[in-house]
Structure 1
Amino acid sequence: MTLSLKYTISLAALSLILAACSSQDEKQTDKKVQTMEEIHAEKGKPTHVVLASKMNLADIRKFSGSVEGIQQTHAEAKMSDPIKTIKVGIGSFVQKDQVLAEFFYTGDNTAYQQTEEQVKLLESSTQRLREVYAKGGLSQQNLDEAETQLRIAKLSLETARRKTIVLAPASGVITEVRFKEGEVPSVGATLFTVAKLDQVILKLPITSQDIGLFKKGATATVHLNGEDLKGKVSMVPLAADASTRFFPVEITFNNKGHKLLPGMFITTEVNAKSIDAVAVPNDAIIYKNGLNTVWVVQNGKAVRKIVTPGVSNQNYTQIISGIALSDSVMLDGMSKMNEGDKVLIVD
């Protein structure tokens, strides 16, 4: 075989190989890559679902109010004179009959001084009569009369003196001091409030629309500095306060460590009521344009349902109407769904 013939055969073979390769590349090029829309149309848009189920839901409501000592007593002014000294402050722990304040006595000074002088004179004269009685120069009756006059005078002086001091009406914590040194309160004015803090009450001003939510014994929670403090509804009034038109509901808390202090304005979560209801996760509900909607899967297709929500807690919401028990409710991907889209349920 000549060199020319060999060369011709080689070129022919190479041409055949190139033609075959070219044909294969063209076939691969002709194979079209699917778009995401085409994949979704063929297999469905992916989503996770959960079955609408029946569960017991607690209706948790938030209300705010002021803390008070469960037992509060007041120390009042017995005279209308300048306050000389105040011996305690808010937060001070006091014992019953401890001196809280003293007054200057500027009232009927003449009568007070006369009583003082009378006591001194009676003490002196009674002492002399005792000496005479000891020597037999005085009857028992006369001595008894002198002793009685001295006791009465001392009692009058002590009564006048006690008006100048203010005593704690009970053991507890000072939660209110209404006057300052030098000020002149009127007779009967509250000077101090003393409260026992082992238990406190939270008073909630409740409207007529919400009072029906409260039942005696219902639980309540206050979140304070990372702690959950538990209490119970202890009083649900039958009538509103005449001046405020609110119903003063009371919640009692055991107050170990005195974390809740009178005067605090705090918010509590009240377990108003519990119901058995068809419910879905909160994330399944979409609120838009004044409507609450839930997406469900029916016969492999996406269906948008307008729903009426009811009681809700941190995780679930009651569905009063719009879906049925055991409906397959979408949890994600709803923003990409259109009515009637094919759905791919992901495990």
Structure 2
Amino acid sequence: MKRNGKYGLLSLAFIASIISCTDKNKTGDEVDEKPLVRIEKVTSQDVPQSQDFTANVQANVVNNISPSVQMRIKDIKVEIGDRVNKGQVLVLLDKTSLIQQKTQLDNLQLEYDRLEELFKVGGASKQAVDQMKTQLDVARSSYENLSENTQLISPITGVVTARNYDNGDMYGGNPILTIEQITPVKLLVHVSESFYTKVKKGMDVKVKLDVFGDQEFIGKVSLIYPTIDPATRTFPVEVKLANTDGKVRPGMFARATMDFGVKKHVVTPDLSVIKQSGSGDRYIYVYKDGKVTYNKVELGRQIGNKYEVISGISDGDEVVVAGQSRLTNGMEVEVEKDSAEK
């Protein structure tokens, strides 16, 4: 019995030692295990400082054609889509009111002439002559106004884009026609405040329209608004396109690109950029001396499969491009040999 007890104790000690060794080996492996990452060195380069904006095409000038008094429309000489020239007659209005006004004017003129003769011989007062002169002037002004409105003339060369009446209708307040000048056309671009000092009148702007695919049009900055919208932190910039062939039409969706020169900025692979969930912040893990740090970065333009970095990392930094999912700030890592040699 004693002998068996001795062997039993030895067996228990042996098993315990094996378990102890196993636990030690396991703990040692877990302590020594480091996340494997791939890194790349980033460098600075000249990055074009162009910026894209969206806008809708607008007519350069819009004229609403209407008479200044209520009159019956006799003849509208153009239709929607017609091209018209400056000075062209667009609408004829009924002359009945004009004829009546002319008759009244002629009668008042005769009455004034008669009263003035009487005044010369003492048969009428100066007050009566002055009152008649006032009536005559009012009647003459009304006649001239009606005369100008018996035909409506286009003040610009453009295209008819709206017609709100038919022949025989009584003018009721809405414009009879709308004429839009589309040579040139313009874009009203809302530019970020940070570019305010960089936008110059006369600078070229590249314009693409979805309807024409990759075809590029060149416009020029024609007007820079002097104030900044405090709600959007933008300011309006007017860009004009010559549009000599008339292809570009008001209402088209446009993308305008403004070129602000070049700047030397760090460029990083897009694989290095991490978006923080729940916010728009971007981060990059930077490798140094066996550890990684979690750096918040400000990104600029995307250039192919790389990003311009405005701030957050420096020229020559080594950034993690693979293996970020297991990383935390300040963690020790192991670098793939191939990437460490790059």
Larger radius of gyration: 1
Q: How does 1:269-308 map to 2 (within 5 A)?
A: 269-271=257-259, 274-289=262-277, 290=279, 291-299=281-289, 301=290, 303-308=292-297
Map of 1:312 onto structure 2: 301
Map of 1:165 onto structure 2: 151
d(CA) in 2 for partners of 1:184 and 1:59?
51
Label 1:305 to 1:261 Cα distance change in 2 as closer, same or farther (>3 A): same
User: TM-score, normalised on structure 1?
Assistant: 0.58
d(CA) in 1 for partners of 2:43 and 2:56?
37
Q: How does 1:17-96 map to 2 (within 5 A)?
A: 45=36, 47=38, 49-69=40-60, 75-96=65-86
Label 1:205 to 1:327 Cα distance change in 2 as closer, same or farther (>3 A): closer
**How far apart are residue 44 of structure 1 and its match?**
7.7
Amino acid paired to 2:209? H
Label 1:45 to 1:66 Cα distance change in 2 as closer, same or farther (>3 A): same
d(CA) in 1 for partners of 2:265 and 2:192?
26
What do residues 288-343 of structure 1 show as CA deviations (whole Å, max 9, x unaligned)? 144421133435x4624312314324545443443220222333443355632212
Quick one: percent identity of the two aligned structures? 23
**How far apart are residue 282 of structure 1 and its match?**
3.9
d(CA) in 1 for partners of 2:83 and 2:235?
32
SS in 1 for 2:186: strand
Map of 2:209 onto structure 1: 223
d(CA) in 2 for partners of 1:211 and 1:106?
57
What do residues 256-287 of structure 1 show as CA deviations (whole Å, max 9, x unaligned)? 54232234464534446753322324443211
d(CA) in 1 for partners of 2:194 and 2:41?
35
* Structure 2: gaps spanning 5 or more residues: 1-28, 106-142
Map of 1:331 onto structure 2: 321
d(CA) in 2 for partners of 1:84 and 1:293?
71
d(CA) in 2 for partners of 1:50 and 1:240?
40
d(CA) in 2 for partners of 1:94 and 1:247?
34
Map of 2:95 onto structure 1: 105
Label 1:341 to 1:312 Cα distance change in 2 as closer, same or farther (>3 A): same
**How far apart are residue 178 of structure 1 and its match?**
6.2
SS in 2 for 1:335: helix
**How far apart are residue 161 of structure 1 and its match?**
6.5
What do residues 80-115 of structure 1 show as CA deviations (whole Å, max 9, x unaligned)? 213234333443212333332222334244345799
d(CA) in 2 for partners of 1:159 and 1:320?
64
Map of 1:253 onto structure 2: 241
What do residues 173-224 of structure 1 show as CA deviations (whole Å, max 9, x unaligned)? 224x3632325156xx864444443322112356867745633315343332
d(CA) in 1 for partners of 2:70 and 2:175?
12
Q: Is the 8 A contact 2:205 2:256 kept in 1?
A: no
Q: Is the 8 A contact 1:197 1:255 kept in 2?
A: yes
SS in 2 for 1:107: helix
Label 1:223 to 1:52 Cα distance change in 2 as closer, same or farther (>3 A): farther
d(CA) in 1 for partners of 2:253 and 2:96?
40
Map of 2:187 onto structure 1: 202
Label 1:193 to 1:209 Cα distance change in 2 as closer, same or farther (>3 A): farther
Label 1:265 to 1:322 Cα distance change in 2 as closer, same or farther (>3 A): closer
d(CA) in 2 for partners of 1:90 and 1:343?
70
d(CA) in 1 for partners of 2:228 and 2:36?
56
**How far apart are residue 43 of structure 1 and its match?**
11
Q: How large is the RMSD of aligned CA atoms in angstroms?
A: 4.2
d(CA) in 2 for partners of 1:240 and 1:104?
49
Q: Is the 8 A contact 2:80 2:163 kept in 1?
A: no
Q: Is the 8 A contact 2:182 2:243 kept in 1?
A: yes
* Structure 1: gaps spanning 5 or more residues: 1-37, 116-156
SS in 1 for 2:51: strand
**How far apart are residue 58 of structure 1 and its match?**
1.4
